[in-house]
Structure 1
Amino acid sequence: MLAPTRILRASWSSTLRLPKSAFPARPLPAANPEYLRRCTDELYAWQQNARSKQDTNAQDIETFTLHDGPPYANGPLHIGHALNKITKDVICRYELGQGKRVSYIPGWDCHGLPIEIKALQAQKKDVDAHTDPVSVREAARALAAATVEEQKKGFKEWAVMGDWDHAYMTMEPSFEIRQLQIFKEMFERGLIYRQLKPVYWSPSSRTALAEGELEYDENHKSLAAFVRFPVVLSDELRNGALSEIKDSLSIVIWTTTPWTLPANKAVAVHKGMDYAILQDPEHGNELVLIAASRVAHYQDMVGHEVMIIPTKLRGADLAGHLQYENPFQRANGLQPVLHADFVSDSSGTGLVHIAPGHGMDDYHVCTSLNIPAFAPVDDAGAFTEDAFPEHPELLQGLLVSDVKKTGSRAVLDYLERQDMVRAKHNFKHKYPIDWRTKQPVIVRATEQWFANVDGIKTESMKAIEGVNFIPETGRSRLESFIQGRSQWCISRQRAWGVPIPALYKQSEGKLEATMDADTIQHIIDVIKERGIDAWWTDPPEDPAWKPAHLSGTYIRGRDTMDVWFDSGTSWSLLPRNGNHPVADVYLEGTDQHRGWFQSSLLTHVATQQCDIGNVKAPYKMLITHGFTLDSDGRKMSKSLGNVISPAQIMSGELLPPLKRKKQKGARKDQPNDAAPQFDSMGADALRLWAASSDYTRDVTIGQPVLLSVNQALHKYRVTFKWLLGIFSLPTCPPPFTSFNTIRSELSIETDSVTLLSDKLARHRLTQVSQEVHAYYARYEFFKGINTINKYVFNDLSAFYFETLKDRIYTGSKHDCQTLQKVLGVIFYELLQMLAPICPILVEEVWDYLPETLRQNSIHPARATWTPLALASPPAEGQTTDISARQLDQYQEFIHTVGSAINTAQERLRAAKKMGSSLECDVVIGMDPRAADSHFDEFVGWGGSQKSEELAGLFVVSGFEVRNMNELDGLKAALEEEGVWCELETFKIGETERKVLLRKANGCKCPRCWRYVAEEPESLCGRCEEVV
């Protein structure tokens, strides 16, 4: 036997394999544009062009279509945009990894009031002024176009891939023409009509609003009042139920909108309700009539007691038998008291003031009785002279919905002078506001264009039965919006939009709307020829717009379509699935159940001429995400100072600045005037935040969340840097040229690795691969990321990498190359799992690979990703294979034994007896009377010893298995010899075991640092062979 080699310790470093890579700790800004181009434009173009050269049947590749809900082109990007667009992109990249061709065409919603207002404000023009529509459209178009380019640039910086060269905008001529054709189809089905009806009207925007454009102020305060009207009794009532009443009688109504009293046309009772007559001593013993159940409430409101006159009155006795006069409209004569089903005794007086021009329920009641709607309020929300024809100066021009309640106060002031007000008070309740201006809206009867939702409600409900929802609660939410809607006001009184194709005949100073299918098609043809702006720029009576079948003088209308109609027809861009255009996924915020999800469904269903069983929605799956909130769960706003921008996450400026290295020669007290540097991780930080979030709920964001995101990215980078170094070892090149080859070669069924640690690593990777794939397939990316992070931090960094460093750095070339294969599979699988989430990182890592590997392997973003397969149970007669179940047990054993070893090591370190874990040997104590076959097999008890392999597994110098009864004696003997040791117990199942840590029995090898050498400063046997 040769004598152990003795040589100076420093010289052994040249014999070690130390992984080195130029891969940087943080992304290099100079390289980012190239990586960004590769993982977005280049990747999208490649997969659109038949995916790869190996695809001989490219035409048979399944196409996955995610239809982009168009963001509004009126401002800079915010964090909500990031959550939305990145989640869409992650889905598309996952589906691309499943071998599909992805179709994602970004879009923008370019019409509507917010853009119009912002464009006018930029020109310092009064939004409320009667601005020339042509100049409004020019300014709005320019603003929208500039915003689209700005937002597009931001989306691209986030590594969102798509067909950017063919992005759609609702203001494009081709889109507008398709929209008008859909409008025509709906008209031909009888779903479009014009009518004088109460609609939500925004005085601040000067336009009608749809229900989807409303928000609600839960704490709105209205000026409410109890108002009496003297009544005239019919002969039947005076001679019947009220024969004992000789004095005059008044009815009392309660209203939260006194400004609507000039438009009053009737008072409603409920025929099944009991009513009482009260005598009021505070007002000359006048007699008033209210619901019997509301007497106590009435007394509380007027502030004094009243006397009940014994009578038996039902609403049926009153309806049609009482009349009264509206003091603001005396010329109209007496008005009726009638029955309405919606009257209740839950509030007020049980008598309801009816103004058909200011309420839909009122409108329906009056329409059935031929009582016309009347709304003496103009576009600005101010009274017209018709509000009080006898004294127009008292009300004309007064605003009805301003903060000061000017209109309501003026109405009540007049009524008080007429001794008609019995009480008034402030009333807090839920009230609709304009979702854009945040100002109160009113209900006002105007001539508007409507889509008949009732006519397609059944088909719409049927269509979404086959739609999948994430989360499932989205189904009931969308259903409730559809069920609760009977009509859709689609006309807007603004210039920036698609015109409603209606002509108006001029006759005797009046305008009469004209619309038929031929006229609509004629208008579409003229727009194709002249452009849509000609609708506004051509002379009003230009005959080119009038079809040949119409006679007389006509002018073009000025109403434009609701922007939800614009974006709601974007499904016309989709590829056709059978007879219908259908997208695989629509994904937007939860507020779009009342918006885009609904308008898309309604317009799509409205154009389908088929049996109800064959009606389809324009989407197979609806995904909704929540809102973004600050770390305290508050909505972000400038006033709160809690707005977080996507750029701040990318730059890292929300995190503590990086610590600067001291310059050589600088004094400790010398101030550092340089600008702070931040942990900038680029777009991948923003993307990892979005993908780590449970988007089905509201998503909070703050420094703790962002710190964890950056920590994960750093761990990824450190992991890849180390692996890249292993694949670049000059003295030990990898024994393979393609990652794709070793992935199949090292599958469990044909496993060529022999050491337990490598089998466990391969097994754990397989489990993670399957878990992540399953989560991604359900679009639960946050769960997939959580699994990846646990794997990288715990399984790889804290365990497996620690166990194999010795074999790589100091082991044989065969050991190293065996590990390179296992690590190659791990490396490539990690890249595939992260490709949808951090595409720039994946591109960067790939760029730092040795050229041979890079050229001969399929790029992980372009390869079809299928999860690795778990090990099969041993075949009959085989004993060498280890099943997945056994490997799971072994993982539990390692965790249990490892925890016991670590506990003992920490006590020894605290006592300053040891430092490195290699300074100790481990002795496991087993009890032959309580044998566990699986654990016995794991530690080699009763069979071949696996001491060296297990020592490497637990990163100690020696591993031994003994009878548990011997450990106490061994401990005592060691202590008597002055050798430090530590005993720890643990359990396998219900069986107690022991582990003894003792000072390593060998000498420290100067090359591998294990305490296994025979003599000081001499190499161990393995290092001797390797060297």
Structure 2
Amino acid sequence: MLRICWKTWGSPLKLKNCIMVRGKRYFSSKKYADTLNLPKTTFELWGAGKREEDIRRVCGFSELYSWQRKQETGKAFCLHDGPPYANGDPHIGHALNKILKDVINRYKLLRGYRVHYKPGWDCHGLPIELKALSEKEEDFRKLSPPEIRRKARNFAAKAIDRQMEAFKKWGIMAEWESGCYYTFDKEYEASQLRIFHQMYQKGFIYRDLKPVNWSPSSRTALAEAELEYNPNHVSPSIYVKFPVSKLPGKLAEYSTNLHAAIWTTTPWTIPANEAICYMPAKDYSVVRCAETGENLLLAAERVEEMAEILGKKFERIVSFGGSELEGGSCFHPTISGKTVPLLPAAHVKMSMGTGLVHTAPAHGPEDYGIAVQFNLPLHCTVDEDGIFSPEVGQDLAGKNVLTEANDIVIEMLRCNGSLLKQSNYVHSYPYDWRTKQPIIIRPSKQWFINTGAIKDRALECLENVEMLPSHALNSMRTYLDGRTFWCISRQRVWGVPIPVFYNKETDEPLLTSESVSHVTSLIEKHGSDCWWNLPVEELLPDSLIPKSGSKSKDFVKGEDILDIWFDSGSSWSHVLKDSDEQADLYLEGEDQYGAWFQTSLLTSVAVKDRAPYRSLLVHGFTLDGEGRKMSKSLGNVVDPDVVVSGGKNKKTDPVYGADVLRWRLAESSWLTRVQVGPELFAMTNQNILKIRNTIRYFLGNLYDFDPTSDLRPHADLLPIDKYMLHLLHDYGSKVATAYDSYEFGEITAKVTELIHGKISAFYLDTMKDRLYCEAYDSLERRSCQSVLHHLLEVIVRSIAPITPHLAEEAFMHRPDAVSVFKTGWFHCDSSWHQPELAAVLGALCSVRETFLAAIHAPRSREYDVTVCTNDIQLLGYLQALQEETTSSTSHLSELMMASFTTVAMEMERSPTEGSIQVAGSVGVPSTNGVTSSAEYSLLIQPASHHHCKRCRKRTAEMPNQPCSRCLLAMSGGWE
């Protein structure tokens, strides 16, 4: 039994009151504090970043993926990880990509799915080979292929270790020790060769001499995805005269002293000219130059601009349709006695140049198309280093086409009178993205995939793929439409060999099912190193050579490797074996439209006749806080490790932790551009601290709450508590929808809005008095604790995919201390949805805000308030929360946070000194559903009662004594 004793102890000069509570004596200022239900928790507010490593260890981050793979569930979700290059340190782009994937995977896990996710690395190719060779100053040309491969493998392995450690630190859920894939694994390489062979058997892969993107600086063919464009490249621009040798039909009379004018920015390709192309649907003109007296053939709509460019005056002699040029020809300007035809072509443009296009089949894709159409010759006169061969003549033989040949050709044209004009031209030009040097287009015998035979079906398959953002489908179509073939051979050694042998005498390739299967089995057993380490007799036994009489010694091994985009593009065949070789989702950056998204699609459609993905998500690139591209020269590069672990100067670069990094990237508009920077991370940290503080408050007030026995049913809850659950129900449905539609920024906005606008500013502020001052096991307190329990459960689970460290730490402080990701998604009971109650409380909250605004919220306990209205609907709302006319303990008084609240139809009290009168209106829905405006007025007066030193409200009948509500709470009703 509790005894309360009001007795004075000690000297009159040092009066100290004493109370006896549950057999304990309390003195001094703590005489009431120890009777309050004050929060108790070990959950800390500060230093989350420093504790994250402990959280990952204690909560089993490294075991979570394998745990969930063992769970029996009928639902599966597969996200296929596009492999990043194993050629550098982890950067903010890695963080964006991996964290977005992890948010999705963790959400799916909470929703009961078994997640299939194998992180991977792209381990082959020129980027790694070049970096590995640049680590020591030695001539890589002197190294053997096995030595180069060993260096590249070691370099890739080190990069993988660095990246993997960062991914773990960011909280990415995966089986890191044994569940990753690497494109240099022998099983992966063997799987890739099987895809190659299946496509070859179906006729999609062939060998041909074609002009390809060629990098002299790295001596290999390049795919379009391996190019970057320098917008400030300077090329020599020349206008050249080709003497007309013949014009057909009635145009023949104009052919004397006539020259066809062309324009080019690659003078070095003039010796390879085989034709001049025109647009048959456009008009052309013969014009006479007033200054020289010679005639020029130009497109009719280019005459005026060409006169201005050349600084000449032109007189039109005759105009005619382009189709009338068919059958005409010109003399070559640098090769004596050679004529080249005038040919129709669709690629001729009228926006620049002369309307006549110089055509060198060896050095341009459109030019090559014309050569195929009209059976023009194709000669390769430029070697792998970009050097002219002797057959071009002594003036150009041995000259570099990018650094020497242009000037020589221009001088040749000037000397023979064929040069009309020369100037510099600044434009966008393709560069090798690894060496940062310009490329050329040159013919080379390469292996190709006939994408023209696949892309129509690929486009059909894309129609069944869900894509975000909305323009993703058009982007995929654009890249596919522009790709008629895919060069898949590379002239390097760090990669998967193309398993082909060439006859020493004829250069004919040998590639059969038996030979490929044999090589594949060797690679599956020994790895692709065996292609370089084993003799041809073991790689191609005599028994596998189909032509009788031929021996292994008659063949040589091919020296080409497969394009790394074929490496990664065939990943679905190896990684997705457990998911029917098709993923639910691919998620990569927008630079993959023409790269991994497309190469994966082409290989899968060729072999499986379907896309390898059911859904496609495409994120944008990261920019700094001002929207600029990051670069070391600007000093605006954001290092994710500095964000997580802090920099050398912890004041300027504090430790934020992985959750701050994850939250910032998730809340960004990641479908477009993602801005990151010190100020943005600081703001994000403040948001998370607010969430932490709120969770801390939940936990602190649930220290004596056992959900199994103390949780109150919804029907027993107090009205304001029911209103909070209604808001939580609305929040829960919106959050789930946002996750399902990948709108992670909507989730962070909703939780911030709920915590700032409803929980912190409204509910917790209102409930603090009830939580602290009511009896610990009273319905009033348990009702509030029940809501806090639900708030904790829903909010922590809702943010767990984005901030797993914070969520796990919060659940560690629950009595059962179980991983949040092993407990499933939150549940919002349908009974929580109370729109009628929400209408009542919503209206009364407006009245409350009028009151708090008039007296400044923290001082609300110093006042009594009278709410007066003649509106029957609003009056009913007020009386629903307060049956008595005046009360200090009603739900309305609690809502208003005043000491006493009075409800009246007419103002019964007269204003006194210090009182405040305000009026307002609020919308209330009527029975027919129409919202009407209800008028009300407030009389706010200084509180009429004494100050209760326990609850701090002015509700005590006598000075220096607790109010009756506090006496009841302390005594348990005994008084």
Common topology (TM > 0.5): yes
- Following the alignment from structure 2 to structure 1, what is the Cα–Cα distance between the partners of residues 575 and 182? 14
1:453 matched to 2:454? The reply is no
Match of 1:242 among 245, 252, 261: 252
Which of 6, 9, 20 aligns to 2:40? It is 20
Mapped to 2, the partners of 1:244 and 1:28 lie a distance apart of: 85
Cα offset, 1:312, TM superposition: 5.3
Q: For residues 728-760 of structure 1, give each alpha carbon's deviation from its aligned partner in whole angstroms, at most 9, with x where no partner exists.
A: 2xxxx324348xx94xx64x4xx321x222111
- C-alpha separation in 2, matches of 1:130 and 1:339: 49
Is residue 819 from structure 1 mapped to residue 784 from structure 2 by the alignment? yes
2:122, 2:182 within 8 Å by CA — same for their partners in 1? Answer: yes
Aligned partner of 1:162 in structure 2 is: 174
Alpha-carbon separation, structure 2, partners of 1:576 and 1:45 = 17
Which residue number in structure 2 is paired with residue 756 of structure 1? 719
Residue in structure 1 matched with residue 311 of structure 2 by the alignment: 303
Secondary structure at the residue paired with 1:20?
Answer: coil
Measured after TM superposition, the shift of residue 193 of structure 1 is: 0.4
Alignment of 1:483-632 (within 5 A): 483-507=481-505, 511-539=507-535, 544=540, 547-550=544-547, 551=550, 553-575=554-576, 580-608=580-608, 615-632=609-626
Mapped to 2, the partners of 1:621 and 1:519 lie a distance apart of 37
Q: For 1:309-348, list aligned pairs within 5 A.
A: 309=317, 311=318, 313-327=320-334, 329-330=335-336, 333-348=338-353
8 Å Cα contact 1:231/1:325 also seen in 2:
no
* Cα pair 1:270 1:315 within 8 Å, conserved: yes
- Helix, strand or coil at the partner of 2:34: helix
Provide, for residues 431-464 of structure 1, a one-character-per-residue CA deviation record: whole Å limited to 9, x for no partner. Answer: 3233333332222111111001111112211212
Task: Pick closer, same or farther for the CA change 1:119–1:253 going to 2, 3 Å.
Answer: same
- Distance across 2 between alignment mates of 1:900 and 1:361: 74
More displaced 10-residue stretch of structure 1: 790-799 or 947-956: 947-956
Q: Distance in 1 between matches of 2:409 and 2:208?
A: 29
**1:658-697 CA-partner distances (Å, limit 9, x unpaired):** xxxxxxxxxxxxxxxxx74865331111111122222111
Q: Distance in 1 between matches of 2:323 and 2:794?
A: 78
Separation in structure 1 between the aligned mates of residue 283 and residue 947 of structure 2, nearest angstrom = 102
State the alpha-carbon separation in 2 of the partners of residues 963 and 560 from structure 1.
89
Distance 2:651 2:264 in 1: 62
* Structure-1 residue corresponding to 2:732: 769
CA shift, 1:374, in A, is 2.2
| Structure 1 residue aligned with 2:25 | none
Q: Does 1:364 align with 2:369?
A: yes
Whether the 8 Å CA contact 2:49–2:658 is kept in 1: the answer is no
Q: Is the 8 A contact 1:574 1:582 kept in 2?
A: no
**What is the aligned partner in structure 2 of residue 418 from structure 1?**
416
Determine the C-alpha separation between the residues in 1 that align with 2:773 and 2:888: 20
Instruction: Determine if contact 1:569/1:603 at 8 Å carries over to the other structure.
Output: yes
Q: Secondary structure at the match of 2:707?
A: coil
1:357-407 per-position Cα deviation (integer Å, ceiling 9, x unaligned): 0112111212233222124222222323233x2xx2x323433335xxx43
Q: For residues 37 and 245 of structure 2, what CA distance do their matches in structure 1 show?
A: 107
Structure 1 residues 400 and 541 mapped into 2: Cα distance closer, same or farther (>3 Å)? Answer: farther
Q: What amino acid sits opposite 1:854 in the alignment?
A: D
One-letter amino acid of the counterpart of residue 998, structure 1: Q
Instruction: Give the distance between the partners of 1:695 and 1:346, measured in 2 at CA.
Output: 37
Contact 1:224 1:426 in 2 (8 A): yes
Q: Following the alignment from structure 1 to structure 2, what is the Cα–Cα distance between the partners of residues 244 and 86?
A: 69
- Tell me how far apart the structure 2 counterparts of residues 467 and 714 of structure 1 sit (CA, whole Å): 40
Aligned counterpart for 1:48 among listed residues 49, 54, 69 = 69
Alignment map for 1:143-542 (pairs within 5 Å): 143-164=155-176, 165-233=178-246, 237=249, 240-243=250-253, 247-283=256-292, 285-309=293-317, 311=318, 313-327=320-334, 329-330=335-336, 333-387=338-392, 389=393, 392=394, 394-402=395-403, 406-507=404-505, 511-539=507-535
Shift of 1:416: 0.2
Answer yes or no: is the 8 Å Cα contact 2:843–2:922 preserved in 1.
no
Mapped partners of 2:38, 2:577: distance in 1: 57
2:715 is the alignment partner of 1:717: no
Contact 1:195/1:448 (<8 A) preserved:
yes
- What SS class does the counterpart of residue 816 from structure 2 fall into? helix
The one-letter code sitting in structure 2 at the alignment partner of 1:736 is: P
> What does 1:100-139 align with in structure 2 at a 5 Å threshold?
100-126=113-139, 129=141, 131-139=143-151
CA deviations over 1:905-935 (Å, ceiling 9, x no partner)? 13xx9xxxxx63211112111125x644663
- Tell me, in whole angstroms, the C-alpha distance in 2 between the residues paired with 1:647 and 1:318: 65
Kept in 2: contact 1:26–1:680 (CA 8 A) = no
Q: Describe the shift of the 1:233–1:713 C-alpha distance in structure 2 as closer, same or farther (beyond 3 A).
A: closer
Q: C-alpha displacement at 1:886, in angstroms?
A: 1.6
- For the residue of structure 1 that corresponds to 2:195, the secondary structure is helix
Give the SS at the match of 2:384.
Answer: coil
Give the equivalent residue in structure 2 for 1:671: none
Of residues 648, 660, 671, the one that matches 1:685 is: 660
Shift in CA distance, 209/244, structure 1 to aligned 2, threshold 3 Å: closer
Q: Residue 355 of structure 2 aligns to which amino acid in structure 1?
A: G
SS at match of 2:820: coil
8 Å contact from structure 1 (residues 828, 860) kept in 2? no
For 1:991 and 1:595, how far apart are their aligned partners in 2? 63
Does 1:854 pair with 2:816? yes
For residue 290 of structure 1, report the CA deviation from its aligned partner.
Answer: 2.3
Moved more, 780-789 or 422-431: 422-431
Supply the AA of the counterpart residue of 2:291: E
SS at 1:821's partner residue? helix
Distance, in Å, in 1 between the alignment partners of 2:692 and 2:794 is 15
Query: Residue 74 of structure 1 contacts residue 114 of structure 1 at CA under 8 Å; is this kept in 2?
Result: yes
Aligned to 1:1021: 964
CA distance in 2, matches of 1:995, 1:653: 55
Q: Under a length normalisation based on structure 2, what TM-score does the superposition of the two structures give?
A: 0.90
- The residue identity in structure 2 corresponding to 1:533 is D
Q: 2:890 aligns with which of 928, 942, 948?
A: 948
Alignment of 1:852-891 (within 5 A): 853-854=815-816, 859-871=819-831, 884-891=834-841
For residues 8-87 of structure 1, what are the structure 2 equivalents within 5 Å? 10=29, 11-27=31-47, 31-37=51-57, 38-50=59-71, 58=72, 60-87=73-100
Within 2, Cα distance between the matches of 1:292 and 1:721? 78
The answer on whether the counterparts of 1:111 and 1:170 sit within 8 Å (CA) in structure 2 is yes
Cα pair 2:237 2:264 within 8 Å, conserved: yes
Partner residue of 1:635?
629
Asked if the contact 1:355–1:374 (Cα under 8 Å) also holds between the matched residues in 2, the reply is no
| CA shift digits 1:594-619 (9 cap, x unpaired) | 111111111111112xxxxxx42111
Distance 1:70 1:119 in 2: 19
Could you tell me whether the CA contact under 8 Å between 1:604 and 1:618 is conserved in 2?
yes
Which residue identity lines up with residue 253 of structure 2 in the other structure?
S
CA change 1:770–1:5 in 2 (3 A) is farther
Residue equivalent to 1:957? 899
Q: CA offset at residue 45 of structure 1? A: 2.3
**In angstroms, what is the RMSD of aligned CA positions?**
2.7
Q: For 2:665 and 2:625, locate their aligned partners in 1 and report how far apart those are by CA, in whole Å.
A: 15
Q: Deviation per CA, 1:121-179, whole angstroms, max 9, x where unpaired?
A: 1122356x464322211111100011111111110011101121220000110000000
* Equivalent AA in structure 1 for residue 586 of structure 2: Y
Q: Tell me, what secondary structure is at the counterpart of 2:504?
A: strand
- Aligned in 2, Cα 1:687/1:545: closer, same or farther, shift over 3 Å? farther
Distance 1:287 1:12, change over 3 A: closer
Q: What residue is the counterpart of 2:853 in the other structure?
A: 903
2:568 aligns to what SS in structure 1?
helix
Q: Taking every aligned residue pair, what percent have the same amino acid on both sides?
A: 36
Q: Structure 1, residues 233-259: CA drift from partner, whole Å, max 9, x if none?
A: 37x65xx433376x4332222112211
CA contact (8 A) 1:39 1:839 kept: no
CA deviations 1:324-377 (Å, max 9, x no partner) are 1352x44x7333233323334433222221100011211121223322212422
Equivalence for 2:22: none
Which amino acid letter does the alignment assign opposite residue 784 of structure 1?
I
The alpha-carbon distance between structure 1 residues 343 and 647, as it changes in their structure 2 partners (threshold 3 A), is closer
Specify the SS of the correspondent of 1:494.
coil
After superposition, the Cα gap between the structure-2 partners of 1:997 and 1:643, relative to the gap in structure 1 and judged at 3 Å, is same
